[in-house]
Amino acid sequence: MNGRSGRYQALVTLLAFALPVFFIVAPLLMFLAYSFFSVDHGEINYTLTVANYVRFFTEPVFLPIFWSTCVLCLSVSVICVLLGYPAAYFLTTLHGRWRYIMLMMLMVPLLMSYVIKIYAIRSILGQSGFLNTMLVGLGILEKPSSLFVFNMNAILLTLTLLLIPFAILPIFLALERIPQVLLRASADLGASSIQTFMRITLPLSVPGVASATSFVFVLAIGDFLTPQMVGGVNGFTFGRILYSQFGTAFNWPFGAALSVALAVVVIAAILAGERFGRQKGLPR
């Protein structure tokens, strides 16, 4: 009887390891391997070479776009956190049922189709869209501006709108975990509400801010659809280059090398989020 349950446990353990290895680690390793191959007249040449990486670092197109994409996605995460923090803080000031109703309302956009949301935002930002009509109607602009669509601004605005719920949620959870008695203790020791916020609430919510930042950054940098749809000719991002290597350019090995570069940044972002998300003095 012990033998059977022992074998059963071994099988479950094996599965638990095999599944992620098979579906996550193996494909990643395959990508890594592909990045060292090359393409010759539409055929993949399986001799190992670092030519793809050399090309990435030497050709003057790729690195500038790579950095500008990183900066863009960093701006998106900073804006998301700056807008999401007050929203999350507002949620924690609500009591009982209202808190969760409001949270639900803020999360509802996540349930909608990604593509539909992008279309909706594009029609708001467009030349004859809601934003331009309103600004002209209010007399702020004389004629509709083309600043909001088919450029970097459009990507920034759209990604921010799409990803802001991912910033609110971790910040809200971090704020909610702060014991109320700490705020009372701070007031008891003479602190005003602003002092209590700056010295207790804010530092204790840093883990939430860190995971919000890395969440949004990782999601933004991996996105190629949004830049594709609202970026136009001027809004070229690394995701789009990557996408084109697997599509029109049909250069999988080079695409794989670009993906590895992207993966390095993503892993770094996740590690940074983890590092700053660790609360000083709290065991994890």
Partner 1 sequence: MTQSLDLLSLRAVSKSYGPVPVLHEIDLAIRDGEFLTVLGPSGSGKTTVLRLIGGLESVTSGAIYLDDRDISRVAINRRPFNTVFQDYALFPHMTVAANIGYGLSIRRRPRPEIKRRVTEALDLVQLGKFADRYPAQLSGGQRQRVALARALICEPRLVLLDEPLAALDLELRRQMQEFLKSIQREIKTTFLFVTHDQEEAIGMADRICVMESGRIRQLGTPHELYYRPSCEFVARFFGENNLVPGKLGVVDGDFRAIDTPLGRLSCCIGNQPDLRAAAEGQAAFAVFRPEALSPAGAEDSVNRFSGSVRDCAFSGSSTVAHIDAAGQHLRLRVPSRATGSQFRQGETMALSFSARESHLVLA
Catalog residues that contact partner 1 under the rule CB under 8 A. Answer: 179, 181-182, 184-192, 195, 199-200, 203-204, 279-283
Cα separation, 174 vs 282, in Å, equals 14
Smallest gap from Cβ 268 to partner 1, in A, equals 25
Smallest gap from Cβ 182 to partner 1, in A, equals 6
Smallest gap from Cβ 174 to partner 1, in A, equals 12
Residue 222: how many CB atoms within 10 A of its CB? 16
Smallest gap from Cβ 208 to partner 1, in A, equals 13
DSSP secondary structure string for all residues of 193-224: HHHHIIIIIHHHTHHHHHHHHHHHHHHHHT--
Q: Residue 83 or 191: which CB sits closer to partner 1?
A: 191
Contact 226, 163 (CB under 8 A): no
Contact 258, 56 (CB under 8 A): yes
End-to-end CA distance of the chain: 38
Smallest gap from Cβ 273 to partner 1, in A, equals 18
Residues 6+ apart with CB under 8 A from 122: 129, 149, 154, 158, 229, 230
Task: Provide long-range contacts, Cβ within 8 A and 24+ apart, for 8-13.
Answer: none
Q: Residue 86 or 203: which CB sits closer to partner 1?
A: 203
Q: Residue 190 or 247: which CB sits closer to partner 1?
A: 190
Q: Residue 41 or 284: which CB sits closer to partner 1?
A: 284
Closest CA to 273 of 74, 21, 72: 74
Buried b (16+ CB within 10 A) or exposed e, 139-150: eeeeebeeebbb
Q: Residue 32 or 200: which CB sits closer to partner 1?
A: 200
Smallest gap from Cβ 201 to partner 1, in A, equals 11
Q: Residue 63 or 191: which CB sits closer to partner 1?
A: 191
Q: Residue 7 or 278: which CB sits closer to partner 1?
A: 278
Smallest gap from Cβ 212 to partner 1, in A, equals 18
Residue 49: how many CB atoms within 10 A of its CB? 13
